[in-house]
Structure 1
Amino acid sequence: MTDAVPRSGVLFIGGRSGVGKSTAAEALHDLLVAADVRHAVIEGDLLDLAHPAPHVEFPEAHLAERNLAAMWSAYRELGHHRLVYTNTVSVLEQDTLAAAMGDDPVVTAVLLRAGDATTADRLRRRSGGHLPEAQLAHSTRTAGRLDAAVRDAVTRVDTDSLAPAEVAVRLASLTGWLDA
């Protein structure tokens, strides 16, 4: 008797710069490790980080999707079937990204949100104290665009008053991965 290969699942975590996507993913990773839940974490911002930006110079290259497909294939070969994927706009590109995984995953998409004051504080800490106004303005515009553009099925989580571990518990409950 052969064990059935479980259907994969992906958690897309999106949100503005400084909202806590990477920090929440790390906290979720720790929570899943403590529960011995097999998973992988991919920081999507790094899949096509190059200069000149591949998506500008070669938009048809779809480098992030190609790199995700290659990485996920390697994880699947090792028996992983749960993926935590962070990227600012992943909640807008969830269909394309899920298709790139190549194995029809169950998709959970979450938009993390935070107000300007919280975000500014987080960005200042991340950058060592200085926050250019243009960076906060861009983050604010991105927040508005994401909130207006995401589907109703995307869960919105306000992180202003939550510690990363609390966000991780909320994310884990949305995926059901601790219950499996």
Structure 2
Amino acid sequence: MDHRSEVLLIGGRAGVGKTTVGWEVSARLRTAPVAHCVVEGDFMAQAHPAPEADPHRRELAARNLAAIWSNYAELGYRRLVYTNTVSVLAENEGMFRRAMGADVRIVRVLLTASDATTGERLTGRERGSELAQELKNSAFKARLLDERAPADTVRVATDGRSVVDIAHEVVRATGWLTGAGAAG
């Protein structure tokens, strides 16, 4: 049996459903039962003021992930579900290798959705002053992710699909529910 750590990275533009799908993936894994942890990557560096381009923001996220993962690993966990917009990009791989070990198995899933779908979702979610900026950033990140996601990234469309159906496809990409993949 392979005892190395594994991480499922769920990335995608704002409004694509990363957090919702991440929690549904967790529900499927709990039912199996497959031991795992869930981390919402957007919260790993929520410190202000810190401009998005601030290099300390990325370092803060890496340090926080390493601290959290060490606690999980000490208790015997070896699988992590991690949601964050750009987590699937190759330049973020080092953060997971430093936190979880150089031989961590990385599964990348990029959730996709049309501008219309994400616009509808964001309009329903954003109640404050940041909707216009969120829509603009979402479109920008969609292009960036489409262009720069590594070739091994599994792309899963979310338009017009139930979260249960999407999560089923995402879990299938991990192999965690098949044979030895379902063990602890």
Query: Quick check: TM above 0.5?
Result: yes
Q: What SS class does the counterpart of residue 143 from structure 1 fall into? A: helix
Contact 2:50 2:57 in 1 (8 A): no
1:65 matched to which residue of 2? 62
Post-superposition offset of 1:99:
1.4
Determine the C-alpha separation between the residues in 1 that align with 2:48 and 2:129.
Answer: 24
Give, in angstroms, the shift of residue 134 of structure 1: 3.3
SS in 2 for 1:62: helix
Contact map agreement 2:62 2:95 (CA 8 A) in 1:
yes
Structure 1 unmatched runs, 5+: none
2:109 counterpart residue number? 110
| 8 A Cα contact 1:13 1:85, kept in partner | yes
Q: Give the TM-score of the pair, scaled to structure 2.
A: 0.88
Deviations 1:20-69, CA, capped at 9 Å, x for gaps: 00000000011111111100000011001110127655538711111101
Confirm or deny: 8 A CA contact 2:17 2:111 kept in the other structure: yes
Deviates more, 1:89-98 or 1:153-162: 89-98
Instruction: State the number of aligned residues.
Output: 177
Within 5 Å, which residues of 2 pair with 1:1-180?
A: 6-53=3-50, 56=53, 59=56, 62-92=59-89, 93-103=91-101, 104-128=103-127, 132-179=131-178, 180=181
- Give aligned-pair identity as a percent: 44
Give the deviation of 1:127 after TM superposition. 2.2
Secondary structure of 2:151 counterpart = coil
User: What is the letter of the counterpart of residue 111 of structure 1?
Assistant: L
User: Residue 26 of structure 1: SS of its match in structure 2?
Assistant: helix
Q: Deviation per CA, 1:117-140, whole angstroms, max 9, x where unpaired?
A: 110111122125998333212211
Q: Which runs of 5+ in 2 are unaligned?
A: none
TM-score normalised to the size of structure 1? 0.89
Deviates more, 1:141-150 or 1:95-104: 95-104
Q: For the structure 1 residues 61 and 107, does the alpha-carbon distance in structure 2 shift closer, same or farther, using more than 3 Å as the test?
A: closer
Amino acid at match of 1:177: W
The one-letter amino acid paired with 2:30 is V
8 Å CA contact 2:45–2:58 kept in 1: the answer is no
Supply the RMSD in Å over aligned alpha carbons.
2.2
Distance in 2, matches of 1:5 and 1:175, equals 14
Q: Deviations over 1:95-122 (max 9, x none)?
A: 2222122322111001111001110111
Q: Distance in 2 between matches of 1:110 and 1:44?
A: 14
Contact 2:5 2:100 in 1 (8 A): no
Secondary structure at the aligned position of 1:7 is classed as coil
* Distance in 1 separating the partners of 2:51 and 2:118: 28
Aligned-partner SS, 1:49: coil
